[in-house]
Amino acid sequence: MSKRIFTKEQIKELLKNENVSKCSEKSITYTKNFKHNVLMLYEQGQTANEIFRQAGFNLDVVSKEQPDECLRRWKIIFKRRGIEGLSEVRGQNGIKGNSTKDLSDKDKIEYLEAQVAYLKAENDFLAKLRAKRRE
C-alpha cells in the first residue's frame, strides 16, 4: 500500500479528471470504463504510464508506480470476473491481501493450503542456500 497522502489541491485536480470516480487523501477510485480502456490499450502495446499520461494524469501526483500497480490488479480482476469485476470497489473484488475473514471454509482451506505450499518451498530454498554457503 502506498504511503503517499494527497493534498486538498491534488484531490481537486484528480477529481477534475473524468476517469476518477472518487478520491481521498489516500486513494483514487477509477471509473470502470477507464479500467477497461487501460486493459485494451495495454494489450495494443502501450505502457501503463503512457496510458495514464494520455488520460490526463500527472504521474508526479499519482506516482510513477501507480499505473503499473493498477494494471496488475485490474488484469487479475478482469481474468477472474470479467468486465463487471472492474466496477467493484477495491477490497470487494477478491483481491484482499492476506484477509480470510470473509471467505467460505472451502476458500479458506484453499488459501491456507497455497500459503503452506509457498512456505514449504521457501523453507526448502533457504535450506539449500544455507547448505551451499557451508560448502
- Structure confidence by residue, pLDDT tens digits, 20-35: 999 999 999 999 999 9
65-89 CB burial, b ≥16 within 10 A, e <16: ebbeebbeebeebbeeeeeebbeee
Contact 93, 85 (CB under 8 A): yes
Burial of 124: CB neighbours in 10 Å, binned 0-12, 13-18, 19+ = exposed
Find out whether 34 and 55 touch, Cβ atoms under 8 Å.
Answer: yes
Q: How confident is the model at residue 93 (pLDDT cuts 50, 70, 90)?
A: very low
pLDDT in tens, 72-89: 999 998 888 888 888 866
Average pLDDT over residues 106-134: 81
Q: Is the pLDDT of residue 100 over 70?
A: no
Compute the distance between CA of residue 122 and CA of residue 116 in angstroms, rounded to an integer. 10
d(CA 47, CA 59): 13
Predicted confidence band at 70 (pLDDT cuts at 50, 70, 90)? very high
pLDDT of residue 16: 94
